[in-house]
Structure 1
Amino acid sequence: MRLILMGPPGAGKGTQATKIADHFGIPAISTGDIFRANVTQGTPLGVEAKKYMDAGEYVPDEVTNSMVRNRIDEDDAQPGFLLDGYPRTTAQVAELDGMISFTGHKLDAAVVLTVDAEELVQRLLKRAQTDGRADDTEDVIRRRQEVYASETAPLIEVYRARGILVEVDGMGEVDEVTARIFAALDIVPES
């Protein structure tokens, strides 16, 4: 199974990605986690990425594309993968298409979580307090929502036109959202 998980920052993608990936036995690949790990380790990629992340902007495509290409080429991603946070732009969609078609596979579904905008801001402010995430100030959170709306939301229409878009209500308890995702993918979760 090759999936992408989309939705605005704070929609619960990271939480759901873990549950979906565990179900299918595939890696959940989060560009945000990879960026944060590089920032923490002070790598050249991390230093470059931090400038953009601190401003609430996207890390440039060339950096992100290389990172994703390297990650999906790893052995554990051969049976499939779930991408969380990629693609974010139409240029990245084209890049991902090339990466996947090179392996002779195709993208199975693009799952998008929909959540009320003010709920997203409140979730992220709460996460900033509990997780100590300095990059989650209210101004940066609101800027990320604007960037998502202008750059990433159009991808929803790309995947809708391809017939692989799966829209899921991301409001409510984690397990309820997970159940909605599995139902939308026509999958009966293991009990």
Structure 2
Amino acid sequence: MLNFVLFGPPGAGKGTQSQKLIDQYQLIHISTGDLFRAHIKNQSPLGQRVSELIADGQLVPDEITIAMLEEEVDKNPGAKGFIFDGFPRTVPQAAALDEFLESKGSSIAGVIALDVDQEELTKRIAQRQLETGRVDDQADKLQKRIDEYFSKTIHVLPYYEAQNKLSKVNGIGKIDDIFAELCAVVDKY
């Protein structure tokens, strides 16, 4: 099974590039953000709790995120592999993902970090907010999410680097050029 984590701050292009990777390699995309938005849209009790946390610019607790993620993996037993987008965000989440995949006889093949500076992120997310109206892209929430990434989430990278699973790709440029770099990484596996 070919499992990858696509890593990067909000607005780095994870969603855009994930779709292209899915089409190229027939992988299943699991975005914790998409899972959260689906639960919020359906107004499930979990969705209501997630909505409150996201509205405050906070991360959703590990146990909620991991349970949703495991449920999604279990829905796709015949998958060729998965792209995890927006997860893991902490070292304990990374360890939990490793443990869960190991229980399924699988593992993370690689972690691809999209490298994008804060100025570019701000421009991209402002444009996305205009186009989609996502509540988590509003200026006051956005800075919290970016700060959270650079102060906490980025510390997951050394966890995977220690396992020789980390590759960095410049996330600034033409979408197709970035995609070609991503494919070069995936093709190594």
TM-score for both structures, normalised by structure 2: 0.94
Q: How does 1:26-175 map to 2 (within 5 A)?
A: 26-75=27-76, 78-175=79-176
SS in 1 for 2:136: coil
The separation in 2 between residues aligned to 1:144 and 1:37, in whole angstroms, is 19
Aligned to 1:185: 186
The separation in 2 between residues aligned to 1:156 and 1:93, in whole angstroms, is 10
SS in 2 for 1:75: coil
AA partner of residue 38 (structure 2): A
TM-score for both structures, normalised by structure 1: 0.93
Aligned to 2:11: 10
AA partner of residue 54 (structure 1): A
The separation in 1 between residues aligned to 2:108 and 2:131, in whole angstroms, is 35
RMSD, aligned α-carbons = 1.3
Q: Assess if the C-alpha contact under 8 Å between 1:53 and 1:135 holds in 2.
A: yes
Q: Assess if the C-alpha contact under 8 Å between 2:28 and 2:79 holds in 1.
A: no
Q: CA deviation at 1:79?
A: 2.5
SS in 2 for 1:82: strand
Instruction: Note the alpha carbon deviations across 1:71-116, whole angstroms, 9 max, x for none.
Output: 1112356431111011111110111011111011121000110001
Unaligned 5+ residue runs, structure 1?
none
Residues 1:61 and 1:180: Cα distance change in structure 2 (over 3 Å)? same
* Number of residue pairs aligned between Structure 1 and Structure 2: 187
AA partner of residue 118 (structure 1): E
Matched-pair identity in %? 38
Q: CA deviation at 1:133?
A: 1.6
AA partner of residue 120 (structure 1): L
